[in-house]
Amino acid sequence: MNFAELAAFAGRNPILSSALAGLTLAILGMEAMRLLRGGHRLAPAALTALVNREDALVLDVRVAADFEKGHIPGAKQLALAEVKPEHKLLAMAKSRPVVLVCKAGQSAEGAASMLRKAGFERVFVLDGGIDGWQQAGLPLAKGR
C-alpha cells in the first residue's frame, strides 16, 4: 500500500481514520506521561526476582489498616505522605532498588518521581499495585 492508496482510504472512511488518529494520540500521550512521572513499572514476577537477587526494599504506601489486611511478604509499610528521601527506611536504601506498592499502581507514581529527583537511581512502582499482585496469584502476608 502506498501513500496515495492510504490517503484514498482515509478519504472514504473519515470516521475510521479519525478513530485511529485519536487512539494513536491517546496511546502516545499516556506513554509520555508515564515517562515523565519518573517511575518505572515492575511486573509482580519481576518484583519477586528483584527482591531475591538484589535485596530490593519494598515499601507499601497504603494506609496501615490496608497493609495489615494483606501485603507483600517482607514489605515495609510507609504512608504515602511519609515517603521522603530522609526517612530512615529510605536513607539506608539509596543504593538498593526501591519498589513502591499502592492499591492499583497509580498513587505511588508521584513518590517514585520525588525519590528519583532526590538521587535514588533504581525506583520502581509495582504494576497494578497490590491488586495486580493478587491477580497474579501471589501470596499476601497478614498483620504487621
Q: What is the pTM (predicted TM-score) of this model? A: 0.72
In a domain, 30, yes or no: yes
In a domain, 141, yes or no: no
Does 121 have pLDDT greater than 90?
A: no
Q: Show the cell assigned to 59.
A: 515499601
pLDDT, tens digit, for every residue of 19-77? 988 998 888 877 766 555 545 889 999 999 999 999 999 999 999 999 999 999 999 99
Q: What is the pLDDT of residue 124?
A: 93
- Tell me, yes or no, whether 104 lies in a domain: yes
Is residue 49 domain-shared with residue 73, that is, in the same domain?
yes
Q: Are residues 49 and 85 in the same domain?
A: yes
Q: Please indicate whether residue 102 is annotated as part of the active site.
A: yes
Structural domain harbouring 62 = 38-135
Total domain count for the chain? 2
- Give every CB contact of residue 112 below 8 A, 6+ residues apart in sequence: 37, 38, 39, 40, 100, 123, 124, 125
Which one of the listed residues 75, 102, 108, 112 is annotated catalytic?
102
